[in-house]
Structure formats: C-alpha cells, structure tokens
C-alpha cells in the first residue's frame, strides 16, 4: 500500500503551534461566549472584546479551517460544536484548560524539546529554576490557573468513571491527589451511601468543590504529601490522572504507601489514559509528549500499569475501559 507524499503537510505540521496560539487568543477574548446568541462579524466581535478587528478576523478565519468557528458568505463567524466548549458557561467547558495550555509553562519547555530528548531529563526545571509542581505552588497566578484548567479537563471524564465502577455501599473512598474534588463529588452524588476523603496539597484542596448541601456530612478534606502518607480508614483508594506525572520509582512509592495504609480487603483504582499499540493517533500519546517536557513521568501501556501494581504487592483484579482518557485498573492486595 502506497501513500501519497504531501510535502505541504509536513510544513503544516511544523506550523501547528500557531493553532494553539490562535485557540488561546480566542479563549482569552471570550469569542465563543459572544457568539452564543448568534453569528457576528470580526468587527462586531472586536468592538465587544476590545480587539483589533482586522487581526481578529485573520485569526478566526485561520481557526475556521479546523472547524473551530465557521465563517459564512457575509463574513460573519458562527459558533460550531467544536468551539462550544470554549464558552465559559458551557456544561462541558474547556476554556480554563485551553487557557492553561497556552501559558509559558507549557510553551517554553515545548520549544526546547530537543534539549529534553538529548539530556534525558525534563527541561522545565532549568527554565523555571524549580520542578513543575513546586513552581505552581509558589506562583499565585499560574498555579490557580493550572488547577482550574486541570479541573475542567478532569470533569470531562469524572461522571463516566463514576458510572463505570460499582463503588460498594457504605465504602469510604479516598481520592488521592484529587485536586479540587471533581471526581469525588461525582462519586458522592451518584452513590448516596458512600463517604469520601479528598487528599492533595493544601494549595489545591483549599479551593475544593465539595461544599454542596446534598453532600453535607459525607466528606472531609485532608492535605499533605502523598509520598509520605495517605489518609487511613479508606476502603477504595483512587489515583485519577496522578501516575502519569511521576516516574516508575515514584509510582511504586505511592502504591507502597497506599498498600501499607489500606485494609487487606481494600482496593486501589488507577485511573488514567492507556496508550494502545500501533501508529494510530491517541490522546495518551499527545499527553505523553507534553509530560516529557515538564516532569519525570509518562503515560503508560496497560502492561506497564499492571507491572507497577504487581511489584507494589497488588493483584490486578479488573480492567475497565471508560474512554480514551480513562481506563480503570483495579488492584487488590496480593
């Protein structure tokens, strides 16, 4: 089987960073919000957002080539299904996530990917003089923006994960590294006989989303370093989108800490995207290269996750595919 060679496609790939910048610009200006009530010209959008009309037109025309907005014959731009999540008030809004990904903490390391590949270590520390999470914890602007963006991304899969797993009645679920608690909130809402503990760094859990009337008395928040300890008294310990941030050695430390704390009839759930074999595109392969520049972690294949669990003293009891961004891997003490 032969494939037509398209040199222009290679150039398009080399310029793909422009789509990211254009998308971030549209998100910052709130273009999708202004198009919610109907199409507008770039001049009308510029008047509403304080932008330069001709330049805004060029950026939106560029995004329309990818289906983000659509320009009609009267030079009016329409909101498309692909652009809908850019609205701040969309039920599945990704605006905060898009804004976060357009920050220099992602763009600058990506521009120096060569250095990461040659040296064998993430270049982030050299650029920002601190490891990724330490930098976020000490930056009063970038840190909250990143947490908001990750919460938006996490919300995409939380309900699906909750529906896919049969959390036992009266179980205590400990969401380790749970961020603002979006997953735990979903679990508690869908399983009224379950209680939960949200555990993460103080700067993260301080902005939790669990304080709802329907959840009163069924949760608590603890903060700390999950490499040192995790809350006791749990029946199900959940690590959602946590392991990809850490090396194999660090993941084994996390799992070993959890194994020492949990009861013999407890369960651990590793929830993450799983990289499939083959050459087809997959979100996990994209996120893996993002992580490559920032951290010492990686996205993993299913055998790699299973190997970590077994080495830490667990038996892999179930594997539940949920979506391209989430597979539930259940471990029980061996």
Answer yes or no: do 151 and 222 share one domain. Answer: yes
The mean pLDDT value for 263-273 works out to 95
Structural domain count of the chain: 2
Confidence category of residue 247, pLDDT binned at 50, 70, 90 = very high
**89-99: average pLDDT:** 91
**What confidence tier does 153 reach under pLDDT thresholds 50, 70, 90?**
confident
Domain that holds residue 227: 117-333
Contact 187, 162 (CB under 8 A): yes
pLDDT number for residue 4: 65
What is the C-alpha to C-alpha distance for residues 32 and 218, in angstroms, rounded to an integer?
A: 37
Question: Do 62 and 168 have their domain in common?
Answer: no
Does 282 lie in the same domain as 220?
yes
Query: Residue 123: pLDDT above 80?
Result: yes
Of 187, 230, 180, give the one whose Cα is nearest residue 206: 180
Residues 236 and 129 in one domain: yes
Q: Say which residue, 206 or 309, is predicted with more confidence.
A: 309
If pLDDT is split at 50, 70 and 90, which confidence band does 5 have?
Answer: low
Does 157 score more than 60 pLDDT?
yes
8 Å CB contact between 109 and 122: yes
- Identify the pLDDT of residue 1: 44
Structure tokens at 73: 């014959």
Give CA–CA dist 179/154, Å, rounded.
Answer: 9
Q: Both 142 and 231 in a single domain?
A: yes
- Does residue 140 share a domain with residue 22? no
CA distance 236 to 239: 10
pLDDT of residue 3: 57
The mean of the pLDDT values for the chain is 93
Confidence of residue 174 (pLDDT cuts 50, 70, 90): very high
**Strand pairing category for 172-176 and 76-78:** unpaired
267 close to 323: Cβ distance less than 8 angstroms: no
Residue 118 above 90 pLDDT? Answer: yes
| Cβ neighbours, 10 Å, residue 25 | 17
In CATH, what number is assigned to the domain containing residue 73? Answer: 1.10.10.10
Query: Domain holding 246: CATH number?
Result: 3.40.50.150
């Amino acid at each position: 089987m032969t494939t037509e060679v398209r040199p222009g496609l290679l150039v398009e790939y080399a310029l793909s960073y422009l789509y990211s910048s254009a998308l971030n610009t549209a998100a910052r200006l709130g273009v999708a919000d202004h198009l919610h009530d109907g199409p507008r010209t770039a001049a009308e959008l510029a008047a509403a957002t304080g932008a330069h009309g001709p330049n805004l037109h060029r950026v939106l025309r560029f995004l329309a080539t990818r289906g983000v907005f659509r320009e009609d014959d009267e030079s009016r731009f329409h909101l498309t299904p692909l652009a809908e999540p850019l609205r701040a008030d969309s039920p599945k809004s990704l605006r905060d996530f898009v804004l976060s990904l357009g920050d220099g903490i992602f763009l600058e390391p990506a521009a120096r990917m060569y250095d990461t590949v040659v040296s064998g270590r993430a270049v982030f520390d050299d650029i920002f003089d601190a490891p990724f999470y330490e930098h976020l914890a000490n930056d009063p602007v970038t840190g909250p923006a990143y947490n908001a963006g990750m919460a938006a991304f996490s919300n995409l899969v939380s309900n699906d994960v909750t529906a896919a797993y049969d959390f036992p009645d009266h179980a205590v679920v400990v969401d380790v590294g749970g961020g603002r608690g979006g997953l735990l909130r979903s679990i508690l809402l869908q399983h009224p006989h379950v209680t939960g503990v949200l555990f993460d760094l103080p700067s993260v859990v301080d902005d939790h989303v669990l304080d709802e009337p329907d959840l009163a008395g069924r949760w608590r928040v603890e903060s700390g370093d999950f490499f040192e300890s995790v809350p006791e008294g749990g029946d199900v310990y959940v690590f959602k989108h946590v392991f990809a941030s850490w090396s194999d050695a660090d993941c084994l430390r996390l799992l070993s800490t959890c194994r020492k704390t949990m009861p013999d009839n407890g369960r651990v759930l590793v929830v993450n995207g799983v990289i499939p074999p083959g050459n087809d595109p997959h979100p996990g392969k994209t996120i893996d290269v993002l992580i490559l520049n920032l951290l010492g972690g990686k996205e993993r294949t299913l055998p790699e996750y299973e190997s970590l669990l077994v080495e830490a003293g667990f038996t892999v009891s179930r594997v539940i595919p949920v979506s391209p961004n989430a597979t539930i891997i259940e471990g029980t003490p061996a």
